[in-house]
Amino acid sequence: MANQEHLNKLMEGVQEWNQWREENLTAQIDLSGVFYSGSILVGLDGISYSGVDLSGINLSNANLRGAGFHGTILRGADFNGADLREATLTADLSGATLVKANISGVDLSRADLHGVTLSLATLVKADLRYAKLSGVDLQGADLREATLRYADLRGANLQGADLSGADLTGANLQDAHLFRVHLSGANLVQANLNGTNLQNAILTDADLSSATLVRADLSGATLDRADLREADLREADLRRVFFDRRTDLSNVVLSDEVGVSSSVVDIHWDDVNLAVVNWELVKKLGDEYQANESDIKDPNFSQEFLRELVLDGYQAAVRANRQLAVVLRDQGLNEEADHFAYRAQLLQRKVLWREHEFGRWLFSMLLALMSGYGYRIWRILAAYLLTVSVFALVYFVLGRYYPPHLPLHQAFLESITAFHGRVFFEQFNLDTPQIWFTALEAVAGLIIEGVFIAMLIQRFFGR
C-alpha cells in the first residue's frame, strides 16, 4: 500500500508537470525527498514511464535506488544528493546536476553526459565505457574501479577525483584537469593524456604503458611502481616527479624529433632503472630549451624581473643536467652521463655571464676552448699542435733577422722543447727576441699541461 501511495503521488505530480509544461514552459515540479523503491518508474504494477519528459524536475536527495529511466527526458533535472545506485539511466541528461549524487554501479555506457555536473558524485564501479564526458565537471568525484574504457574525457575537470583502480584503457583525457587526482592502480593503457594537468597526481601502480602524455603536466606527480613502458612523454613536465626502483621506463619516449626531452629538474629518481631509456635520442633537456626560450624581451615586465626569470631558468637547467649526469654515472652509464655533464658546464658559463662573474666566465671559456671541460679530448691536442706550430713559425721567421737561423724542422723541435719548459740558452742568446718567445711558450705550455692533467683526472678517475 505504501508503494501504491508513493506511485499515486508521483503520477499526480507527473500529470501536473505535463499539464504545466503545456501551459507554461518555465514551470517547475519539486519532488525532493520523495522515496522511490525498486523499479517504481519501470512498469511497477504494469505501469511504465518510458519516454516521459521530466525536464527540469527536482529530485534532489531522492532515493531512486534501482530505478529505471528508459528513454526519459531529464534535461536540466536536479539530482543533487540523490541515491541512484544500480539505477538505469538510458535518458537524456543534458544539463542535469548530480552534485554529491550516488551513482555507484550505474550503467552509463555510451551515455552522452556533456554539460552534466557530477562534482563530488559517487560513481564507484560505474560503467562509463565510451561515455561522452568532454568538459564535464567531475571535481572530487569518487570513480574508484569505474570502467571508463575509451571514454571521451577531453577537457573534463577531475581535480581531486579518486580514480583508484579505474579502467581508463584508451580513454581520451586530452587537456583534462587532473590536479591531485588519485590514479593508484588505474589502467591507462593507450590512453590519450596530451596536455593533461596531472600536477601532484597519485599514479602509484598505474598502468600507463603506451599512453600518450605529450605536453602533459606531471610536475610533482607520484609514479612509484608505475608502468610507463613505451609511454609518449614528449614535451611533458616531469619536474619534481617521484619515481622508485620499481617504476618501469622501458622504451619510454622522452624527446621530440630534434632531440629535446621533457623537463626533468628536481626529479626524485630513487634508483629507477635508466638503462632501459634510449638516451642517445636526447640531445638537450627540456629545461635547457625552456631557459633559452625565456631569454626574450617583454614590455609587460621590468627588465630586472626578466633578468631574474632568465637566470632562474638557466640555473634550473644546470641543476637538471647535473642531477641526471650523477644518476646515470651511478648506474654505470658513463658516456650518457658525460653528455649531460658537458651540457651543464655550457649552461653554467651562461649563468656566470648573467651574474657578471666575468673572471670566472673567462676561465670557463678558456677551459671550454682548450678541452671542452674535459669531455672533448681532441681540443687539448689541437691546442698543443697549434701552440707548437705558431711558435715554431715565430722562431723560423725571427731566425732570418736574428741568429741563429733555424731550418723549419729544427724550429719545430725547438718549439716542442720550449713548450715543455726545456730551453737551452746556447741555442738563443739572452739579447735575442727568440728567448722571450721561448719563455712565453713555456708559460703557455704549463697552462695547457695543467688543463690536460686536470682533464685526465676528471675523465678517467671521476674527480
- Domain coordinates of the chain in residue numbers? 103-282, 284-356, 377-461
Residue 307 has pLDDT above 90, yes or no: no
**Nearest Cα to Cα of residue 340 among 257, 398, 415, 255:** 255
Please tell me which residue, 397 or 44, carries the higher pLDDT value.
397
Q: What are the tens digits of pLDDT across the range 170-204?
A: 999 999 998 899 999 999 999 999 998 999 999 99
Q: Residue 278: how many CB atoms within 10 A of its CB?
A: 12
**Residue 427: per-residue pLDDT:** 64
pLDDT score for 11: 59
Q: Lowest-confidence range among 61-75, 90-104, 320-334? A: 61-75
Mean pLDDT of the chain: 83
CA distance linking residue 58 with residue 28, whole number of Å: 8
Q: How big is the chain, counted in residues?
A: 463
pLDDT number for residue 66: 81
Contact 65, 37 (CB under 8 A): yes
Mean pLDDT for 249-262 is 92
Query: Strands 42-44 and 47-48, how do they pair?
Result: antiparallel
CA gap 338, 52 in Å, rounded: 71
| pLDDT tens digits for range 196-222 | 899 999 999 999 999 999 999 999 999
Share of the chain above pLDDT 70, in %: 84
Strand partners, 268: 242
The identity of residue 145, as a single letter, is E
pLDDT value for 41: 39
Predicted local confidence at residue 28, as pLDDT: 39
Residue carrying the nine cell digits 676561465: 363
Residue 296 pLDDT exceeds 50: yes
Alpha helices in 355-407 (DSSP H): 358-371, 377-398
The pLDDT value recorded for residue 90 is 80
pLDDT, tens digit (0-9, with 9 covering 90-100), for 278-287 = 999 999 999 9
Is residue 17 scored above 70 in pLDDT? no
> Which residues does 295 contact at the CB level (< 8 Å), separation at least 6?
310, 313
Q: For residue 442, give every residue at least 6 positions away whose Cβ sits within 8 Å of its Cβ, in sequence order, or none.
A: 418, 419, 420, 421, 423
Scan for cell 653554467, then name that residue: 348
pLDDT class of 272 with cuts at 50, 70, 90: very high
- For residue 44, the model assigns a pLDDT of 29
Angle between helices 358-371 and 334-354 (to 10 degrees): 150
- In this prediction, residue 45 carries a pLDDT of 27
Please report the pLDDT score of residue 16 as a whole number: 61
CA distance 263 to 337: 17
Handedness of CA 380, 383, 389, 391 (dihedral sign): negative
Of the pLDDT bands very low, low, confident and very high (cuts 50, 70, 90), residue 52 is confident
Whether the Cβ atoms of residue 290 and residue 230 lie closer than 8 Å to each other: no
> Which of 22-31, 226-235, 307-316 has the highest average model confidence (pLDDT)?
226-235
- Fold type of domain 103-282: Pectate Lyase C-like (2.160.20)
Please, are residues 124 and 143 in contact by the beta-carbon 8 Å criterion?
yes
